[in-house]
Amino acid sequence: MVHAFLKLFLQRHRESKMAEAKKFGPYKGSKENGGRPIYVYKKKVDGKWVTTSKNKARADYESKNGKIKSKDTTVDHKDNNHNNDSKGNLRAISRSKNTAKENKRRAGKKENEK
């Protein structure tokens, strides 16, 4: 019994080490995310393929600076150009600060249209 358990444990441990996620993309995002590029990740978990996706800007930022731990933190484009995903243009800020920045930008845009 112990031998079978150990064998199963070692097999799953090897599979989890080999089960690095495969990255595909970038692909054009949907209308819901403003058409921003995404990466698609596929990973085998317990014998089944699991598919997830991540915003390209966030994935690029995390590849340079490490994983963002807080769900309340977003990746911001310093120059407000969402097509410019260069590493120097990306920074992590709180969701509330990013929303405030976007609202301020939109308010300025409306003032200029008058």
Residue range 66-106, pLDDT digits in tens = 999 888 999 999 998 988 989 899 999 999 999 999 899 88
CA distance 19 to 17: 5
Higher model confidence: residue 106 or residue 12?
106
Structure tokens at 60: 């690029």
Look up tokens 């089960």; give the residue.
Answer: 19
Predicted TM-score (pTM) of this structure: 0.70
Question: b/e per residue, 69-91, with b = 16+ CB within 10 A?
Answer: eeeeebbbbeeeeeeebeeebbe
| pLDDT tens-digit map of 20-49 | 789 999 999 888 888 889 999 999 888 899
- Predicted confidence at residue 111, as pLDDT, reads 66
Q: Tell me the pLDDT band of 18, cut-offs 50, 70 and 90.
A: very low
Residue 113 reports pLDDT greater than 70: no
Which residue in this structure is represented by tokens 């990306």?
Answer: 90
In this prediction, residue 13 has a pLDDT band, given cuts at 50, 70 and 90, of: low
Q: Is the pLDDT of residue 109 over 90?
A: no
